[in-house]
Chain A
Amino acid sequence: MGLQAYLTLAAVIFCIGLFGTMTRRNTVGVLLGIELMLNAVNINFVAFSRFQGTEIGMVFTLFAICITVAEVALGLAIVILLFRMRRTATADHVDWLKG
């Protein structure tokens, strides 16, 4: 398969993830959308790396995967904290900063 096919696939997945991030009410659902978007970016990195013939992009993907894991752990900790304080997981109910 050519580079174009991989990039198009990544674009499709990114847009699906963007849709999920924008439309989900539940904070965990928003996190799942963000996961999909990060995944699409990783596909782009690996595809460019393979078609360029170097391993640099794959090393970067490795870093991106590890950082994503840390991000998910922290995000879920925040969701649990939110639950304790507000008894809600809906992103719209988190409006403490609203004047």
Chain B
Amino acid sequence: MTLSIAAFWVFAAILAAAGLAVVLSKNLFHSVLWLALALVATAGIFLSLDAEFLAAVQILLYAGGVITVVVFAIVVTERLVGERLAHTSRRVIAGAITSATLLAVIVRALSRAQIDVPRPPLTADLTRQIGTSLLTRFVLPFELLAVLLLVGLLAASYFARPEE
């Protein structure tokens, strides 16, 4: 039990630090790499919630796929302009006040809510349960998702087509 608590705090600290680095870094490329670290730390948080399958999906799709695509986009756009992309922030104080206020509101609501429920013991294999409900109860959204991915693929390649 103590090990899982320690793991949670380690992953939470990495996640928060990497998230701050994403929004504060001066270099766009570094921001993307920090985001990759934040996504891997999120996979660790998923592991501490016994969601091994989601942790694997998170690393494969997010940390693998999304980061690669973003890096490609940065390289392509920098090649198009032939210079480094400016990566600065504006209205930092207003943004900080807004997000800090939202955080204060959420944390206050959380501390007042009666949500100290105990974690129920695992009764069955969660991955097996996810797979079963994907292909029974949620089979229609699952198939719609496949259509959505196809539409996204076609639309992205249409937008980014070479100029005639």
Contacts and interface: CB of A to CB of B under 8 A. Distances in A.
B is bound to A = yes
Interface of A: 1-9, 11-20, 22-26, 28-29, 31-33, 35-36, 39, 42-43, 46-47, 49-53, 55-56, 58-59, 61-63, 65-74, 76-81, 83-84, 87, 89-90, 92
Interface of B: 4-5, 8, 12, 15-16, 19-20, 22-23, 28, 31-32, 35, 38-39, 42, 45-46, 48-51, 53-54, 57-58, 61-62, 65-66, 69-70, 72-74, 76-77, 80-81, 85-92, 94-96, 98-100, 102-103, 106-107, 110-111, 115-117, 119-120, 123, 126, 129-130, 133-134, 138, 141, 145, 148-149, 151-153, 155-157, 159-160, 163
A3 B116 contact: yes
Contacts of B45: 6, 9, 43, 46
Contacts, number: 230
Contacts of A18: 95, 98-99, 102
